[in-house]
Copies of this chain bind each other. A is one copy, B any other.
Amino acid sequence: MVTLHLSHESANLKRSVIRDLLSVASAPDIISLAGGLPASEYLPIEQYQECLDTVLKREGSRILQYSPQYAPLRAWIAEYMVKRGVTCTPSEVIITNGAQQGLAILSRLLLDPGDPAVIEQITFTGIQQVTVGRGAAVITVPTDLETGVDLDALEKAFQRQPRLAILIPDFHNPLGVSLSLEKRQRIAELSARYEVPVIEDDPYSALRFEGTPLPPIKCYDEEGTIFYLGSFSKMLAPAVRLGWIVAPTDLIPRITALRESFDLESSILTQTAVYEFLAHGWMDEHLRTFNAANLVRRNALINALQQHFGGEVRWTEPEGGLFMWVTFPETVNTWEVFDQAVKQKVVYVPGGAFAVEGGYTNTMRLNFSNARPEIIQEAISRLATVIQATPELL
Contact = CB atoms under 8 A, between A and B. Distances in A.
A112 interface: yes
A68 B238 contact: no
Given A7-B110, A26-B68, A61 B49 contact: no
- Give the copy number: 2
A98 B260 CA distance: 12
Interface in A8-27: 8-10, 13-16, 19, 22-23, 26
Contact of A223 (B2, B38, B43): B2
A194 to B, nearest CB: 10
A126 interface: yes
B4 A256 contact: no
A261 B130 contact: yes
Contacts of A96: 263
Contacts of A49: 52-53, 56
Interface in A79-128: 96-98, 100-101, 104, 108-113, 115, 126
B108 A10 contact: yes
A257 B18 CA distance: 11
Contacts of A2: 192, 195, 223-225
A64 interface: yes
Contacts of A268: 239
A381 B126 CA distance: 53
A237 B5 contact: no
A269 B240 CA distance: 8
B239 A63 contact: yes
Interface residues of A, number: 88
B248 A14 contact: no
A40 B22 contact: no
A62 interface: yes
Contact of A65 (B37, B133, B261): B37
Contacts of A270: 239, 267, 270
A184 interface: no
B129 A260 contact: yes
Contacts of A60: 40, 45
Contact of A7 (B19, B101, B115, B240): B115
A180 to B, nearest CB: 25
A82 to B, nearest CB: 20
A373 interface: no
Interface string A243-273: 0000010110110111011111111111000
Contacts of A1: 223-224, 248, 250
Contacts of A19: 260
A326 B343 CA distance: 66
Contacts of A13: 254, 257-258, 261
A126 B257 CA distance: 10
A297 B35 CA distance: 50
A36 interface: yes
A4 B195 contact: yes
Q: Interface centre among A1, A4, A22, A269, by most B CB within 10 Å?
A: A4
A78 to B, nearest CB: 19
Contacts of A328: none
6 contacts: A4-B248, A7-B115, A13-B254, A13-B257, A49-B56, A241-B263
